[in-house]
Amino acid sequence: VMAAWAGLGYYARARNLLKCARAVTDGHNGVFPQELSSLLKLPGIGPYTAAAISAIAFQQDATVVDGNVERVMARLHAVQTPLPDAKIELTQKAARLTPTARPGDYAQAVMDLGATVCTPKKPSCDICPWCANCGALAQGITAELPKKRPKPQKPTRYGIVYYVERADGAVLLERRPDRGLLGGMLGWPGSAWDDAPKDAAPVQATWTTLPQKVRHTFTHFHLELTIKTAQLSLSEPVQHGAFIDRHQFRPAELPTVMRKVFDLVNSAEFGYHQPILKTGHDVP
């Protein structure tokens, strides 16, 4: 699952997808639950997804609230509280409007209304079925809603990555812990990502620091990586990770930031050869 998901980001979704499938198989005899309370207990399913499944797939009495619905409710009721603080209030207002009959159709209709009519910019208020009752339109503040708190500036974190190649061309990789960013994915050994990363070399070696950095942006922070390279003999032990034969190594299975490291190290500028890609691999 993780190999198929590589490069897409949001890797926790891939792990939870598998966990959810197993939970439905083991705990519900392979039958997806319909009730909101049961859906919320499944791995990776939050309030929005649970409500959407319950209402749309099973026509259960559930209130579906995504970004489009929040925008429609904020404008319809002229809610001045900025998001995300307004989420509870907007959900309550959406719940009061959700009918018990065909709640799934209603949910899709409101989401479509937000996506096509009550759009973030230049909403088509003249064709909106709720324009006569819209508080924001009446007050002339449609473009101002929903209000949002200013986004904080993304901090920059720093790290060190160690690219190790053995005399036979094998490269050193390790699998990241299941929990946390890039959980369960393959990557190069490295330091923690913080303000002042400490040396975390996986083996004693003569390291060469590349002059170029690898930069990558995650949802909540920017990352700048220093790359150190070394070549080892066949008998040199390492503290963690495992060597993968370059004929079996597939860079496409790396998350994007780790693939950037591979691409830089293997660029013509630094003289490393490109691998021949054939089969998969397993890293402890």
Give dist(CA 73, CA 134) in Å, integer.
Answer: 9
Q: Which pLDDT value is given to residue 253?
A: 80
Tell me: do 129 and 161 sit in the same domain. no
Indicate if 103 and 201 belong to the same structural domain.
no
Q: What is the pLDDT of residues 43-96, one digit of tens each?
A: 999 999 999 999 999 999 999 999 999 999 999 999 999 999 999 999 999 999
What does 192-227 look like in DSSP terms, one character per residue?
--BSSPPP--SS----EEEEEEEEEE-SS-EEEEEE
pLDDT at 266 over 50: yes
Q: Is residue 282 part of a domain?
A: no
Q: What is the mean pLDDT of residues 233-245?
A: 85
CATH at 56: 1.10.1670.10
Pairing, β 156-166 against β 222-232: parallel
Alpha-carbon distance of 173 to 188, in angstroms, equals 5
For residue 220, the domain's CATH number is 3.90.79.10
Report the predicted TM-score, pTM, of the whole model to 2 decimal places. 0.70
Whether pLDDT at 282 is above 50:
no
Q: Are residues 135 and 161 in the same domain?
A: no
Asked if pLDDT for residue 247 goes beyond 90, the answer is no
Return all residues near 158 (Cβ < 8 A) that are at least 6 apart.
193, 194, 195, 196, 197, 223, 224, 225, 226
Q: Which pLDDT band, with edges at 50, 70 and 90, does 278 fall under?
A: very low
**Does residue 114 sit in the same domain as residue 164?**
no
- Distance in angstroms (rounded) separating the CA atoms of residues 209 and 230: 9
Domains held by the chain: number:
2
Which pLDDT tens digit goes with each residue over 188-228? 999 999 999 999 999 889 999 999 999 999 989 999 999 99
| Mean pLDDT estimate for the chain | 89
Q: Quote the pLDDT of residue 274.
A: 44
Model pLDDT for residues 129-170, shown as the tens digit of each residue: 999 999 999 999 999 999 999 888 999 999 999 999 999 989
- Domain assignment of residue 237, given as a range: 156-265
Instruction: Count CB neighbours of 96 within 10 A.
Output: 10
Query: What are the backbone angles phi and psi of residue 5, rounded to the nearest 5°?
Result: -90, -10
Beta-carbon contacts of 216 under 8 Å, excluding residues fewer than 6 positions away, are 222, 223, 225, 256, 257, 260
Would you say 146 and 67 are in contact if contact means Cβ atoms under 8 Å apart? no
Q: Does 139 lie in the same domain as 37?
A: yes
Query: Which of 118, 144, 170 is the last residue in one of the domains?
Result: 144
pLDDT, average across residues 113-119:
98
